[in-house]
């Protein structure tokens, strides 16, 4: 299968999975914002505990959540490195030539690293527990109030759904075309930038042709199944605000409160 794992959904029957997508979306945004306000290690401790609780509730194997971290290792090292070496600080711990490591630098770097790790792990819970359709339905429903100012909420959501559905297919196709071209002696791996870009052309042209053909067939198939935008449309998984949803929002608010308490330490 392809390596691309966008919208990698891991279905289980957990309470987190059943939570309304809107609550999860807003909850994730709240979580990210609260993380930005953390200024004390205790805050990260609270966030890590909170995250552990959510992961346990979601019944998702933790290795899947850690896997998301692999993709950001580079960014993590880079961001931590910049903070480590370029933070102006008083307490110099180590000085050699132009390298100056200060206590403040180490603090900044570790803050940065923890923030990023918690952020990526937290947001991967959203995509792991929510199917792309529920996610886009959630976005649609949150954007709906903007309809009077001509935000096409339904169309945006449908566009995202289809994009998510076809990314793996197009990636697979690109691989196939590349292999076919390689078999005919094409060379994608050597030469300067310009040469490499030019060698990609024989891939992009068939890829675009097939993408348009797909789009045309897909549109016909959607019409054949009575699709006509959001006129008179219902949803199988209707959005619902039940007690669980309100409790979920309550938990998020409590979490925010705790985070702000740690700022007072």
- Interacting residues with other proteins (CB under 8 A): 1, 7, 9, 11, 131-133, 161-162, 164-165, 168-169, 172, 213-214, 217-218, 220-228, 232-238
Whether 3 contacts 172, CB under 8 Å: no
Residue (of 240, 257, 253, 249) closest to 24 by Cα position: 249
Least separation in angstroms between CB 254 and other proteins: 31
Between 9 and 40, name the residue whose CB sits nearer to other proteins: 9
Q: Under 8 Å CB-to-CB from 174, ≥6 apart: which residues?
A: 203, 207
Shortest gap between Cβ of 67 and other proteins (angstroms)? 17
- Minimum Å gap between C-beta 3 and other proteins is 13
Both structure tokens of 76: 């993590």
SS3 state of residue 93: strand
Q: Which is nearer to other proteins, 172 or 187 (CB)?
A: 172
Phi, psi of 94 (to 5 degrees): -155, 130
Q: Which is nearer to other proteins, 102 or 161 (CB)?
A: 161
Smallest distance, other proteins to C-beta of residue 74, A: 28
Task: Give 92 or 215: the residue with its C-beta nearer to other proteins.
Answer: 215
CB closer to other proteins out of 190 and 234 = 234
Q: Which residues contact 112 (CB under 8 A, 6 or more apart)?
A: 79, 80, 83
99 vs 224, beta carbon nearer other proteins: 224
Closest of 177, 165, 169 to residue 2, by C-alpha: 169
Instruction: Tell me how far, at minimum, the Cβ of 72 lies from other proteins, in Å.
Output: 24
Give the nearer residue to other proteins in terms of CB position, either 201 or 238. Answer: 238
Provide DSSP, 216-255. HHHHHHHHHTT-BTBTT---SS-----HHHHHHHHHHHHH
> If we measure between CA atoms, which residue out of 21, 48, 17 comes closest to residue 34?
48
Residue 159 Cβ, how far from other proteins at the closest point, in Å?
A: 12
Rounded (5°) CA angle 224-228-233 = 110
DSSP 3-state assignment of 39? coil
CB of 10 to other proteins, least distance (A): 10
């Amino acid at each position: 299968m392809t390596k691309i794992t966008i919208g990698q959904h891991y279905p289980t029957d957990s309470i987190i999975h059943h939570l309304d997508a809107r609550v999860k979306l807003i909850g994730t945004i709240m979580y990210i914002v609260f993380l930005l306000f953390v200024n004390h290690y205790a805050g990260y401790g609270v966030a890590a505990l909170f995250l552990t609780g959510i992961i346990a509730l979601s019944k998702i194997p933790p290795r899947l959540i850690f896997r998301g971290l692999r993709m950001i290792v580079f960014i993590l090292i880079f961001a931590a490195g910049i903070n480590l070496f370029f933070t102006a600080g008083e307490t110099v711990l180590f000085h050699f030539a132009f390298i100056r490591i200060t206590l403040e630098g180490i603090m900044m770097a570790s803050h940065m690293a923890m923030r990023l790790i918690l952020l990526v792990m937290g947001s991967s819970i959203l995509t792991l527990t929510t199917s792309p359709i529920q996610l886009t339905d959630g976005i649609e429903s949150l954007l709906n109030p903007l309809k009077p100012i001509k935000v096409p909420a339904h169309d945006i959501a449908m566009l995202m759904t289809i994009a998510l559905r076809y990314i793996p297919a197009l990636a697979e196709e690109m691989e196939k075309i590349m292999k076919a071209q390689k078999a005919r002696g094409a060379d994608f791996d050597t030469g300067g930038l310009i040469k490499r870009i030019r060698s990609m052309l024989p891939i992009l042209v068939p890829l675009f042709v097939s993408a348009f053909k797909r789009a045309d067939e897909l549109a016909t198939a959607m019409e054949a199944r009575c699709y006509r935008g959001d006129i008179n449309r219902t949803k199988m998984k209707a959005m619902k605000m039940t007690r669980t949803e309100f409790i979920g929002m309550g938990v998020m608010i409590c979490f925010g409160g705790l985070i702000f308490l740690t700022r007072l330490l």
